[in-house]
Structure 1
Amino acid sequence: MALSAEMELYSTPASRLDSFVAQCLQPSREWKEEVLEAVKTVEQSLREEPLEGECGLDQEVRVLKLVKGSGCPCETPHPHSCFMSPPVLEGSTFKRPKLERPRSIRQSQSVPHLNIKETEAQRGVLFLPLLLVSSPVPTSSLQGSHLREGFGNLSPHLLPASEARGPSAPHSQPPPEVYVNLVKACRYPGHLSPSFCELQRDFVKHRPTKLKSLLRLVKHWFLQYVRARSPRAALPPLYALELLTIYAWEMGTQENESFRLDEGLTTVMELLQDYESLCIYWTKYYTFQNPIIEDVVRKQLQRERPIILDPADPTYNVAEGCRWDIVAQRACQCLKQDCCYDSKDNPVSSWNVKRARDIQVTVEQWGCPDWTLMVNPYTSIRKVKEKIQRRQCCEGLQRLSFQTPSGERKLLRSRSSLAEFGIFSDTRICLLETIPPEIQVFVRNPEGGSHAYAVDPNSFVLGLKQQIEDKQGLLRKQQELQFVGRVLQDWSVLGSYGIKDSDTLILSKKKDTHFPFLPS
Structure 2
Amino acid sequence: MELFQNLYETPADMLSAFVERSLQPEGDWKEEVKDAWQRIERFFRDRCFHDELVLDQEVRVLKVVKGGSSGKGTTLNYSSDVDLVLFLSCFPSFQDQAEHRASVISFIEKRLTQYGRSLAYSITMVPQRETNRVPRSLSFHVQARKNSEAIGVDVLPAYDALRNFCPDSKPPPEIYEDLITSGGHPGEFSPSFTELQRHFVKSRPVKLKNLLRLMKHWYLQYLKPKYRNKALPAKYALELLTIYAWEIGTDESENFNLDEGFRAVMELLIDYEDICVYWTKYYDFQNETVRIYIKQQLKECRPVILDPADPTNNLGKEKRWDLVAREAAHCLRQACCRNEDPSQGWHVQPAREVQVMVKKTGEEAWILSVDPYSPIWKMKTEIKRTFGLRGQQRLSFQEPGGERQLLSSQRTLAHYGIFSKVSIRVLETFPPEIQVFVKNSSGQSKPYAIHPDDSIYALKEKIEEAEGPYVEDQILKFQNRKLRNHCSLSDLHIKDCDTIMLIRRSHRPLGVPTVGLYMI
Range of TM-score over shorter length: 0.7 to 0.9
Deviation at 1:100, TM superposition (A): 6.5
Residue of structure 1 aligned with 2:227, choices 188, 205, 230 = 230
Aligned CA-pair RMSD: 3.5
Deviation at 1:486, TM superposition (A): 3.1
* Structure 2 alignment gaps of length 5 or more: 73-80, 86-96, 106-119, 511-520
For the Cα contact (< 8 Å) 2:355–2:420, is it kept in 1? yes
What residue in structure 2 maps to residue 418 of structure 1? 413
What residue in structure 2 maps to residue 403 of structure 1? 398
- The alpha-carbon distance between structure 1 residues 171 and 304, as it changes in their structure 2 partners (threshold 3 A), is same
Deviation at 1:183, TM superposition (A): 2.3
What residue in structure 2 maps to residue 334 of structure 1? 331
Residue of structure 1 aligned with 2:260, choices 263, 270, 280 = 263
Instruction: Determine the C-alpha separation between the residues in 1 that align with 2:504 and 2:216.
Output: 61
- The alpha-carbon distance between structure 1 residues 116 and 74, as it changes in their structure 2 partners (threshold 3 A), is closer
Residue of structure 2 aligned with 1:373, choices 351, 368, 384 = 368
For the Cα contact (< 8 Å) 1:310–1:317, is it kept in 2? yes
Question: How is 1:9-24 mapped onto 2 (pairs within 5 angstroms)?
Answer: 9-24=7-22
Instruction: Determine the C-alpha separation between the residues in 2 that align with 1:108 and 1:405.
Output: 35
What residue in structure 2 maps to residue 60 of structure 1? 58
Instruction: Determine the C-alpha separation between the residues in 1 that align with 2:127 and 2:63.
Output: 20
- The alpha-carbon distance between structure 1 residues 111 and 372, as it changes in their structure 2 partners (threshold 3 A), is closer
Q: Does 1:114 align with 2:140?
A: yes
Deviation at 1:312, TM superposition (A): 0.8
Deviation at 1:463, TM superposition (A): 1.0
Residue of structure 2 aligned with 1:294, choices 288, 291, 294 = 291
What residue in structure 2 maps to residue 144 of structure 1? none
- The alpha-carbon distance between structure 1 residues 333 and 118, as it changes in their structure 2 partners (threshold 3 A), is farther
Instruction: Determine the C-alpha separation between the residues in 1 that align with 2:47 and 2:487.
Output: 83
Q: TM-score of the superposition, structure 1-length normalised? A: 0.81
Deviations 1:320-360 (A, max 9, x none): 12111110111011001111114x6x768531112111122
Residue of structure 2 aligned with 1:323, choices 320, 325, 330 = 320
The farther-off stretch of 243-252 and 488-497 is: 488-497
The aligned amino acid for 2:379 is V
What residue in structure 1 maps to residue 246 of structure 2? 249
Deviation at 1:176, TM superposition (A): 2.4
Instruction: Determine the C-alpha separation between the residues in 1 that align with 2:145 and 2:221.
Output: 16
Residue of structure 2 aligned with 1:441, choices 431, 436, 445 = 436
Deviation at 1:427, TM superposition (A): 1.4
For the Cα contact (< 8 Å) 1:53–1:59, is it kept in 2? no
Instruction: Determine the C-alpha separation between the residues in 1 that align with 2:171 and 2:208.
Output: 26
The farther-off stretch of 432-441 and 253-262 is: 253-262
Question: How is 1:462-501 mapped onto 2 (pairs within 5 angstroms)?
Answer: 462-501=457-496
- The alpha-carbon distance between structure 1 residues 102 and 12, as it changes in their structure 2 partners (threshold 3 A), is closer
- The alpha-carbon distance between structure 1 residues 349 and 452, as it changes in their structure 2 partners (threshold 3 A), is same
For the Cα contact (< 8 Å) 1:401–1:411, is it kept in 2? yes
For the Cα contact (< 8 Å) 1:63–1:132, is it kept in 2? no
Instruction: Determine the C-alpha separation between the residues in 2 that align with 1:265 and 1:121.
Output: 32
1:331 partner SS: helix
For the Cα contact (< 8 Å) 1:301–1:424, is it kept in 2? yes
Deviation at 1:177, TM superposition (A): 2.6
- The alpha-carbon distance between structure 1 residues 198 and 436, as it changes in their structure 2 partners (threshold 3 A), is same
Deviations 1:229-286 (A, max 9, x none): 1111111111110000001011101111111111111100010000111111111112
User: How many residues in Structure 1 have an aligned counterpart in Structure 2?
Assistant: 469
Instruction: Determine the C-alpha separation between the residues in 2 that align with 1:107 and 1:502.
Output: 47
Q: Does 1:35 align with 2:33?
A: yes
What residue in structure 2 maps to residue 386 of structure 1? 381
The aligned amino acid for 2:285 is F
Deviation at 1:178, TM superposition (A): 2.2
What residue in structure 1 maps to residue 47 of structure 2? 49
Deviation at 1:488, TM superposition (A): 2.4
Deviation at 1:112, TM superposition (A): 6.1
- The alpha-carbon distance between structure 1 residues 191 and 425, as it changes in their structure 2 partners (threshold 3 A), is same
What residue in structure 1 maps to residue 189 of structure 2? 192
Instruction: Determine the C-alpha separation between the residues in 2 that align with 1:291 and 1:248.
Output: 29
Instruction: Determine the C-alpha separation between the residues in 2 that align with 1:182 and 1:386.
Output: 42
Deviation at 1:59, TM superposition (A): 2.5
The aligned amino acid for 1:480 is I
2:466 partner SS: helix
The aligned amino acid for 1:43 is E
What residue in structure 1 maps to residue 275 of structure 2? 278
The aligned amino acid for 2:234 is P
Instruction: Determine the C-alpha separation between the residues in 2 that align with 1:455 and 1:126.
Output: 71
* Structure 1 alignment gaps of length 5 or more: 85-94, 134-157, 516-520
Instruction: Determine the C-alpha separation between the residues in 1 that align with 2:342 and 2:302.
Output: 28
For the Cα contact (< 8 Å) 1:479–1:507, is it kept in 2? yes
Deviation at 1:173, TM superposition (A): 2.1
Instruction: Determine the C-alpha separation between the residues in 1 that align with 2:329 and 2:98.
Output: 33
2:165 partner SS: coil
For the Cα contact (< 8 Å) 2:372–2:419, is it kept in 1? yes
Question: How is 1:422-433 mapped onto 2 (pairs within 5 angstroms)?
Answer: 422-433=417-428
For the Cα contact (< 8 Å) 2:298–2:304, is it kept in 1? yes
2:181 partner SS: helix
2:9 partner SS: coil
Question: How is 1:103-252 mapped onto 2 (pairs within 5 angstroms)?
Answer: 109=135, 114-117=140-143, 128=153, 131-133=155-157, 158-159=158-159, 163-252=160-249
What residue in structure 1 maps to residue 116 of structure 2? none
- The alpha-carbon distance between structure 1 residues 113 and 423, as it changes in their structure 2 partners (threshold 3 A), is closer
What residue in structure 1 maps to residue 121 of structure 2? 96
The aligned amino acid for 1:482 is K
For the Cα contact (< 8 Å) 1:10–1:337, is it kept in 2? yes
The aligned amino acid for 2:123 is K
Deviation at 1:483, TM superposition (A): 2.3
For the Cα contact (< 8 Å) 1:437–1:457, is it kept in 2? yes
- The alpha-carbon distance between structure 1 residues 389 and 118, as it changes in their structure 2 partners (threshold 3 A), is farther
The aligned amino acid for 2:303 is P
Deviation at 1:76, TM superposition (A): 13
Deviations 1:390-424 (A, max 9, x none): 11111211111111121100001111111111111
